[in-house]
Structure 1
Amino acid sequence: MSDEHRETGTGWPEPVEPVRPAGEPDPRPDAPDADELSPLVPGDPGEPSPESGDDDGATVNLAEVASAEAGSSAQPSDSPSAGPAGRRVSSAAVMIAALLALLGFTLVVQLKTTSTDPTLAATRQEDLVRIFSDLDSREKRLQQDIEGLEDSQRQLRSGEQGRQAALEEATKRADELGILAGTLPARGPGLAVRFEPGGKPIRADRVLDAVQELRGAGAEAMQISGGDRASARIIASTYFLDGAGDVLVVDGRPLTGPYTITVIGDPETMRTALNIPGGVAASVRGDGGNVSVEDREVAEVSALHAPLKLEHARPVS
């Protein structure tokens, strides 16, 4: 037995194994193959020895590794991800960009919806031509009214002739107001519009629609007649009601069909207004009835409307 022993703490000394040079194989018959040995040996300074049982050394080594990793990550100049992190876009900027894009899309849709009229887009070419002609006629008529009023203004400002012109203008204005109020008869070029019922009677709302379209086309005086030749003057306050059976009540006066509206105004403009797609003529035909329009070189509106009896108002002389 060799004299070299090491202390085991059990009271029995244990012989110390001889140290072999590096790379020399173990001569013992039960020694493991050198290729099967773990590269980590107890003497490796990076790993703690399993026989030492010293936990303080392992703790120190882990702490050193952690501090080394923290030190390397704390240097922004050496980290490859430091650049992209500084250029990262915040969520608030993304939200603002999305809201601006949504606002722009909404504005574009609103402009397209406002500038596009689905009714005119589905209208035929000949109907668009008639609508344009109607608008052109209205513009010419309004321009003539403006010129007439300007001429009257010049005459009223010209001394003695102005006084005479003022009297004539007042008389003319009184006649016009009398025609509009239905207290004076009128004649002039116009139309005779006849409503003939079919499977359904002519309703009051259809007649009212015809009156409104004629007024919009420049009608100046109107009256409605029934099949029994009873007539009623149509003015601004005229009302229409559906009576019992096929009777139409106009200002409290019952009329039986068919009905004829005699109107004074520009025949071409009023005819165009009545024949607009979806207008009164199309509505009556859709109910099974018929609307016929006849031009009159001289249309007479002779039915008068009883003037209101004034109780409190008196003219001022």
Structure 2
Amino acid sequence: MEPPHAGAHPARDTPGPETDSAAPEQPHTGEPPAAERHTGEPHVAEPVDDQPGRRRLLDAFWPPRVSRAQLVGAVLLFALGAGLAIQVRSNTESDPLRGARQEDLVRVLDELNSRTRRLEDEKHRLENSRTQLQSSNDRVQEARQQNAAKADALGVLAGTVKATGPGITLTITDPQRTVNGDVLLDTLQELRAAGAEVIQINDVRVVAGTWFNGTPPGDIMIDGTKVLPPYVFKVIGNPQDLQPALNIPGGVVKTLEKKQAGAIVTPSQEVLIDALRPANKPGYARSAPGAGNG
């Protein structure tokens, strides 16, 4: 009996139809199938074509499909944003107190408070004048009386009308002719500081622009008018304030004593000042509109 051939398969015991219909087996050659053969090159996966997906995404967003309502809304939102930006910038640049120091802010606040108080006082005064005009039976007559009172007060200050009231009379004797214009000017300043309202020196009415010239002594000019001793000051004011002001240590009386001049102060409840100034009409100044109101 011969041994079986190497690589042959033993025959089945019961051959049947399945044996005849079975596919013939491939001969075993010792090499892997063609699908499993290694060619020696790295295996590269085939690229996946994603162009259709990108194309669909691009087609969805371009060209943009914008309706008229959306376009109008976008324009309105842009205009609103631009307006808000301009308003904020304008408010920031127009604020003069932005970045100011605390001391400056306190000073500005104090000035505003003072101005507010002055305006409130002016408001009350105007309201009182209006009330008087409205309650008067003859409003025109009331207005005339108020204007006349103002004219009298201004005339007293300007020296165009006579004045009377309580005050003092100061008589300066100067037998040695040692008093000059500076001494009289110092006396005038002391009286004004003590509350003198109206002053007359000899026959000269003293006003805001009064000037003195007296060099050498004994040749004193007041507003261009020569005055000689004794120098008589008629002063309207509170005698209880004027008389002590002249007698203070180092004051007018002590200065005159050093110059061998005398000073006599006489208080009175009725001092008449009758020296007048001409009413000079200004050449350039005019009353501003509304200056006479209130």
1:33-87 deviation line (CA, Å, top 9, x unaligned): xxxxxxxxxxxxxxxxxxxxxxxxxxxxxxxxxxxxxxxxxxxxxxxxxxxxxxx
Cα distance, 1:252–1:243 mapped onto 2, change above 3 Å: farther
d(CA) in 2 for partners of 1:206, 1:165: 46
d(CA) in 1 for partners of 2:250, 2:216: 28
Larger RCO, structure (CA 8 Å, separation 6 or more):
2
d(CA) in 1 for partners of 2:146, 2:169: 31
Residue 191 of structure 1: how far off its partner (Å): 0.8
Provide the residue aligned with 2:134 in structure 1: 160
1:208-240 deviation line (CA, Å, top 9, x unaligned): 111111111111111111xxxxx1100110011
Provide the residue aligned with 1:279 in structure 2: 251
Cα distance, 1:179–1:151 mapped onto 2, change above 3 Å: farther
Provide the residue aligned with 1:297 in structure 2: 269
Are 1:185 and 2:162 counterparts?
Answer: yes
1:260-308 deviation line (CA, Å, top 9, x unaligned): 0001111111001111111111111111111110112211111011233
Residue 154 of structure 1: how far off its partner (Å): 5.2
Gapped regions of structure 2 (runs ≥ 5): 1-121, 290-294
Q: Which residue type is aligned with residue 180 of structure 2?
A: R
Secondary structure at 2:226's aligned position in 1?
A: strand
Q: Tell whether the 8 Å contact from 1:156 to 1:165 is kept in structure 2 after alignment.
A: no
Q: Which residue type is aligned with residue 160 of structure 1?
A: Q
Greater Cα offset, 174-183 or 196-205: 196-205
Q: Tell whether the 8 Å contact from 1:222 to 1:264 is kept in structure 2 after alignment.
A: yes
Secondary structure at 2:172's aligned position in 1?
A: strand
Provide the residue aligned with 2:190 in structure 1: 213
Cα distance, 1:150–1:254 mapped onto 2, change above 3 Å: farther
Provide the residue aligned with 2:279 in structure 1: 307
d(CA) in 1 for partners of 2:237, 2:168: 8
Residue 255 of structure 1: how far off its partner (Å): 0.8
Provide the residue aligned with 1:259 in structure 2: 231
Residue 314 of structure 1: how far off its partner (Å): 4.0
Q: Which residue type is aligned with residue 241 of structure 1?
A: N
1:158-202 deviation line (CA, Å, top 9, x unaligned): 261376665543332221111111111101111110011143421
Q: Tell whether the 8 Å contact from 2:177 to 2:218 is kept in structure 1 after alignment.
A: no
d(CA) in 1 for partners of 2:231, 2:264: 11
Q: Tell whether the 8 Å contact from 2:179 to 2:217 is kept in structure 1 after alignment.
A: no
Cα distance, 1:154–1:267 mapped onto 2, change above 3 Å: farther
Residue 156 of structure 1: how far off its partner (Å): 1.3
Q: Tell whether the 8 Å contact from 1:200 to 1:288 is kept in structure 2 after alignment.
A: no
TM-score computed with the length of structure 2 as normaliser:
0.50
Q: Which residue type is aligned with residue 177 of structure 1?
A: L
Secondary structure at 1:193's aligned position in 2?
A: strand
Q: Tell whether the 8 Å contact from 2:165 to 2:236 is kept in structure 1 after alignment.
A: yes
Provide the residue aligned with 2:88 in structure 1: none
Identity rate, percent: 34
Q: Which residue type is aligned with residue 244 of structure 2?
A: T
Q: Tell whether the 8 Å contact from 2:219 to 2:228 is kept in structure 1 after alignment.
A: yes
Secondary structure at 2:192's aligned position in 1?
A: helix
Cα distance, 1:172–1:150 mapped onto 2, change above 3 Å: farther
Q: Tell whether the 8 Å contact from 1:192 to 1:263 is kept in structure 2 after alignment.
A: yes
d(CA) in 2 for partners of 1:152, 1:238: 33
Q: Tell whether the 8 Å contact from 1:247 to 1:257 is kept in structure 2 after alignment.
A: no
Q: Which residue type is aligned with residue 272 of structure 1?
A: P
Cα distance, 1:308–1:273 mapped onto 2, change above 3 Å: same
d(CA) in 1 for partners of 2:266, 2:241: 13
Q: Tell whether the 8 Å contact from 2:180 to 2:217 is kept in structure 1 after alignment.
A: no
Cα distance, 1:157–1:245 mapped onto 2, change above 3 Å: closer
d(CA) in 2 for partners of 1:150, 1:316: 20
Provide the residue aligned with 1:194 in structure 2: 171
Cα distance, 1:277–1:150 mapped onto 2, change above 3 Å: farther
Aligned CA RMSD, in angstroms, stands at 2.7
